[in-house]
Amino acid sequence: MGGRHVTVRQSYYSVPAKFIGAKVRVKLRANELLVFDGRKVVARHPRLTRRYTAHDILDHYLEILLVRPGAFAGASALAQARAEGTFTKTHEAFWAAAKAKCGDRDGTRLLIEVLLLHRQLPAEAVVAGMTTVVKVGSVNPDLVAIEARKAIEDSGLDEADGFNDTEADVCDDQDDDAEAGDTADEGAKVISLHARRLPPDPRTRLPDMAKYDRLLAPPAPPRTQQKGTSA
């Protein structure tokens, strides 16, 4: 699928889809590259050493793939996620079960909705949720979220808040600020190899996790009516 990257020293790094066309700041470190929106880190990549190579992160493409699920199977970001082990056998099993139950297009959309949960919940918890849900014969992303929250409570994991690094956390004197095209100005513009507007996201927001808290809460005890007493 088309690239949505910053170009630094003739290498290409993906960024979240919402930053297509935006200006961001890029910082090179010895072994990694960081992309900033203001002081917030929005992407983190291993530093590439070969020119004209690319590093894609699957999460950066999910909003686009949600409206174009047919492109998911052939996405280079999926191939890299498999190679790096972030797209696990459990993800594969959930995807296969979802496609068998709902067809390729709708089954892939269900998988992408589960992948979006990784932005809010630890990877181990989401994987545990998928495992449980598939075992009971379901492919419902809402149930995956519920089971993931149960796994968090059982294991004591902290909920994931996504990227929360600031410039003070990750900068040092030996870092190199870089802009697309190998310059050293403040900003870098995210470019798309296929320039077009990002399709609207049919999911206006990520799942409200408070909903799952309410579902997991124990039922309230029944209210008893007290009989009146006469004086």
Q: Any bridge partners for residue 178, and if so which?
A: 26
Q: Report pLDDT digits (tens) over 140-161.
A: 999 999 999 999 998 766 654 4
pLDDT at residue 183 above 70?
no
User: How far is residue 107's CA from residue 139's CA, in Å, rounded to a whole number?
Assistant: 8
CA angle 179, 185, 186 (to 5 degrees): 90
Which band of pLDDT confidence, cut at 50, 70 and 90, is reported for residue 20?
Answer: confident
CA max distance for the chain: 92
**pLDDT value of position 21:** 84
- The set of residues, in sequence order, having a beta carbon less than 8 Å from that of 101 and lying 6+ positions away, is 107, 139
With pLDDT > 90 as the criterion, what percentage of the chain qualifies?
A: 60
User: How far is the C-alpha of 40 from the C-alpha of 156, rounded, in Å?
Assistant: 27
Contact 160, 119 (CB under 8 A): yes
- Dig out the tokens for 152 from the structure: 């968090």
Element (H, E) at 81: helix 76-84
Element of type H or E holding 122: none
What's residue 154's pLDDT?
85
Tell if the pTM clears 0.75, that is, is over it.
Answer: no
Work out the pLDDT band at 12, boundaries 50, 70, 90: very high
What's the pLDDT tens digit per position in 25-75?
999 998 999 999 999 999 999 999 999 999 999 999 999 999 999 999 999
